[in-house]
Amino acid sequence: MTSQIGKWATALAFLVIPAAASAQQVSKKDMRTLIDENMRFAVKQYQVLKDSTPAHRMPRTFQNGRSVTSDTEWWCSGFYPGTLWYLYEYTKDPAVKAEAEQRLAILEKEKRYTGNHDIGFMIYCSFGNAYRITGDKKYKDVVDTAAVYQITRYQPSIQSIQSWNKNKRLNCPVIIDNMMNLEQLLWVAQQGGDPRFREIAITHANTTLKNHYRPDHSTFHIVDYDLDKGTVIQKVNGQGAHDTSAWSRGQAWGLYGFTLMYRFTRDQKYLDHARNIAQFILTHPNLPADKIPYWDYNAPQMPTSRDASAGAIAASALLELGRHVNRQERQQYVSAAATMLQSLGSPAYRAKPGENGGFLLKNSVGHFLANSEVDVPLTYADYYFLEGLLRYKKWYL
């Protein structure tokens, strides 16, 4: 495997960055070093991940000393190729591009996926980045098709896109994660697609704003609807500690989702809501000093229950939110995001070279209560970590 690493990392020096877990102001020089070192490290590490992932599969996690992969229908299937496109964007390494293209080839069939709401994660994070970076229309065509199939799950009676199908516990569930997938609809509409995509995205966001959020600006994970009556049956935290708790990744999904809603619509209520979510997160008494949250803000604070994925998503979202507010707020959000990124790039959360199955970050949590993917690497943690690094470089350096 050592000989393979050179294919993606020729002449890339490995630098050492000290852990930085405090909320102290981070200099531009330190951030440049952090970004450069982590992108270089990621190229090397993702060669290891490539070598451990069969050509017809996607990486999922690394657990109990072995790599775990998925088919392309798994909701996370777009994050690995999306991360590769971020790496290519930074390095212009043709070997990274070739691997990204090979993974898109096996993923493309999911552009007509209707099994749940996650087609945005699957297609926009992968093909959307490919089009943004290359300008190749074939990638845009895939995203355009995905949007058509995405809105087949829209339910007019509840004014929302149904996230999951009916099951034994839930009649018509809509989850906070769905806010992320609205970006695909808004982008396609903005690029000349059917204006219904934008209308549905806005309607869904308004319904989420109305029904998912509590007075303290925290969100439930799931709102379950009666399709016939169009009314709420129950509000629950499927992946949270309990129904009144604040599941950390859900709070990050909401922050990111309402920030992107403002980007596309310039509707002040979305910006105000994103700012309120940011304050909930950043001022929560259970947020650790390094700003990487526990898997739930109201859960017992056990050493293995940090969620690096929630920290990475929140960091990326805060960097975008900082572009839409005044200087004082911007400084708060960007400083917090820098602390998160420094923490994630430190030995506390980042893997050692060649370890962790090739993933970048350790210590993420999929579904704590189900003992599923607890304290392991996850593809979306890596994706949003690199997105955050690149956003910082583009907007604040």
| pLDDT tens, residue by residue, 262-301 | 999 999 999 999 999 999 999 999 999 999 999 999 987 6
Strands 160-161 and 173-175: unpaired
The active-site residue out of 93, 118, 307, 375 is 118
23 sits in the region (left: phi over 0; alpha: psi -120 to 50; else beta) called: alpha
Q: What percent of the chain has pLDDT over 70?
A: 93
**Residue 243 annotated to the active site:** no
Strand, helix or coil for residue 390: helix
Residue 200, token pair as written in the block = 């549905």
Burial (CB < 10 A; 0-12, 13-18, 19+), residue 137, is exposed
Phi, psi dihedrals of residue 235, rounded to the nearest 5° = -125, 125
Whole-number mean pLDDT of the chain?
A: 93
Q: pTM of the predicted model, to two decimals?
A: 0.94
What's the per-residue H, E or C state across 189-251? HHCCCCHHHHHHHHHHHHHHHHHCECCCCCECCEEEEECCCCEEEEEECCCCCCCCCCEHHHH
Residue 5, pLDDT score: 37
Strand, helix or coil for residue 23: coil
d(CA 212, CA 199): 19
- Helix%, strand%, coil% for the chain, nearest 5: 55, 10, 35
d(CA 215, CA 219): 9
Question: Under a CB-based contact definition with an 8 Å cutoff, are residues 359 and 351 in contact?
Answer: yes
Burial letters 1-32, b for 16+ CB under 10 A, else e:
eeeebeebbeebeeeebeebbeeeebeeeebe
Strand-by-strand arrangement of the 222-226 sheet: 173-175, 222-226, 231-236
Q: Which helix (H) or strand (E) holds 231?
A: strand 231-236
Residue 26, pLDDT score: 79
Strand, helix or coil for residue 360: coil
Domains in the chain: boundaries: 2-396
Q: What is the pLDDT of residues 313-322, one digit of tens each?
A: 999 999 999 9
**Residue 177 annotated to the active site:** yes
The active-site residue out of 93, 144, 177, 296 is 177
Q: What is the pLDDT of residues 65-85, one digit of tens each?
A: 999 999 999 999 999 999 999
d(CA 346, CA 30): 13
Q: What is the pLDDT of residues 156-191, one digit of tens each?
A: 999 999 999 999 999 999 999 999 999 999 999 999
Residue 103 to residues 96, 99, 279, Cα–Cα distance (Å): 11, 6, 38
Please name every residue paired with 286 in a beta bridge, in sequence order, or none if there are none: none
What fold, for 2-396? Glycosyltransferase (1.50.10)
d(CA 359, CA 383): 10
Please name every residue paired with 306 in a beta bridge, in sequence order, or none if there are none: 294
Residue 302, pLDDT score: 65
